[in-house]
Amino acid sequence: MNDDILRIGHVIEVDGFKTVGKLEASISDLYRTHRSRKYAVGQVGSIVKIESGDLLIFGVLTSLRMAEVEGRKDIFSGRTELTNAKWIEIELFGQGLRTGIAEAEFSFERGISTYPLPGQPIYLATVEELRRVYEKPDKATVKVGSVSRARGLPVHLILDELIGKHFAILGTTGSGKSCSVALILNAIIEQYPHAHIILLDPHNEYSNAFADRAEFIDITSLEIPHWLLNLEESIGLFVGKTEFAATSQTNILKDAILKARQEFPGGPLPTEKITVDTPVPYTLGRLIENIKTAKPSQESKAESYYKILNKINILVDDKRFSFLLAPDEGTKDNLSELITRFLRIPDACKPVSIVDLSGVPSDVVDVVVSVLCRTVFDFALWNKRRRDTPLLLVCEEAHRYAPRGEEAAFQPTKKALARIAKEGRKYGVGLALVTQRPSELSESILSQCNTIIALRMSNEQDQHFVQRALPESVRSLVDALPTLRTREALVVGEGTSVPVRMLFNRIPESRRPRSADVPFAQAWSKEISDNSIVTETVRRWREQKRD
């Protein structure tokens, strides 16, 4: 190895994971050439190494600055010259112990046991050394891209750590966030075709991202029977999410639902074992009768009963809620069939279930998401064969359903996601949060994601929020987020062997989510000859039909 070519500076200060170095005064070019390869010098995100005997200490360069320092003293004038010094900051992330004399003959491990000493030289890490640092772990992995500073080096994500300990994909609009989601999920099902993945899609982006390997469920085929809701979700539906749920209305609904569940003919459980939250069927007709029977004769005391009855009648008459409020004659115990479809058990060659929420009325979308998330967790909780059927729940636009604030409308949904985030690992439920506004996402839920995939992010508030969620040793990497290219990301956490700045692979045009920007300039440069587009849109709008 030619040390003179690869040496770029020396250590001057060590402080925990952060190391400060000084670049050699002779460095004036952005690149060094070694064995016909070009290496970037002093570039943020590049990998350097510090040699200490048989130990190689690796770090990522996080910042570069110039400062004036005192140089030599002029013997004639007596004045001390000022010179420009280039300082670099390095975040240490791992070390290697030499096992031979060749460049790549060392065993690499994450973490630091021995820190460098001031004065020790800093070298560029060669491609051969980086290949050992980023080599495929001896675990189940999926390949998703390449190292940004060394395109020939693939990046592998450790599957069990990525999913089992949850992950988050964060990035502003246009950064490649949706494509990254599709790429990761496609990479998973290519290698593991019998997965069980549930993707909540609020914008109908992913319908063509998985070809024929996904079960697509939209408002025309969605079925979430009212009896699947627990008491808290039923209160949100039948009492109202914006109105204060008075204790009297809550108690009225609770008693009526409990009796309706117990009175369902041919129920699967003895009456004494049924609670208000037990997922057994009941008919709306029976619910209404129970409320009317319990209604007091004095009109002054019956106001709460009338409010609930009126709300139920309004919902039943509104055709938008037909997927949720089944008629009495159609009410049946089909919970096993519903779970089979949602959770893909068996997968029937379609390991992904895409639930398109774009057509769900905004009045009940949080209730629907709450039911779906809670059903995923409850199934895993009571499944004694959960090791055979681990689940992954992917929540797009997660800040909508688990906001940072305490909005009453989102409490059931937020509670369901929080339970998966905190306890899902024990029961084989992985969680993937996808959002363009991490600062609006519940901090306690995001903190449970042990792998962060951060794409370009220009909002300063979002950057600070992500910085708090990252391990202390790599927080300074957040400064690079505004400069990331499309498809480029910082990956930090348990899902990767070492923190890496990577470039996601391209995916075919036919598999990309429908999230690309509309070409205004191209569309507005030509005239539309007739109004057929309006006529067709109006028809589909009225019939509630989508592609």
pLDDT at position 236 over 90 = no
Contact between residue 215 and residue 352 where contact means Cβ atoms under 8 Å apart: yes
Kindly state whether residues 219 and 317 are assigned to the same domain: no
Q: Are residues 113 and 83 in the same domain?
A: yes
SS (H, E, C) 428-486: CEEEEEEECCHHHECHHHHCCCCEEEECCCCCHHHHHHHHHHCCHHHHHHHHHHHHCCC
Question: What is the pLDDT, as a whole number, of residue 71?
Answer: 54
Q: Is residue 34 part of a domain?
A: yes
Which residue range is the domain that position 21 belongs to?
3-133
| pLDDT, tens digit, 9 for 90 and up, residues 35-45 | 777 777 777 77
Helices (H), 272-396: 284-294, 303-317, 335-343, 365-382
For residue range 114-150, list pLDDT tens digits in order.
899 999 999 988 888 888 988 888 899 999 999 887 7
Average pLDDT of the chain? 86
Q: Look at residue 1 and tell me whether its pLDDT is greater than 50.
A: no
372 and 498, same domain (yes or no): yes
Looking at the structure, tell me whether residues 315 and 416 fall in a common domain: no
Report field, pTM of the whole predicted structure over 0.85: yes
Q: How many CA atoms lie within 13 A of 40 on its CB side?
A: 11
Q: Tell me if 326 is assigned to some domain.
A: no
**Residue 140 belongs to a domain:** no
Chosen domain end from 104, 133, 162: 133
Residues contacting residue 455 through CB under 8 Å, at least 6 positions apart: 169, 170, 171, 172, 175, 176, 177, 180, 481, 484, 487, 488, 489
Q: 356 and 265 in one domain?
A: no
The count of domains in the chain is: 3
Q: Are residues 307 and 402 in the same domain?
A: no
Instruction: Name the pLDDT band for 82 (thresholds 50, 70, 90).
Output: very low
Considering the domain architecture, whether residues 453 and 538 belong to the same structural domain is answered as yes
In the predicted structure, residue 444 carries a pLDDT above the cut 70: yes
CATH number for 199? 3.40.50.300
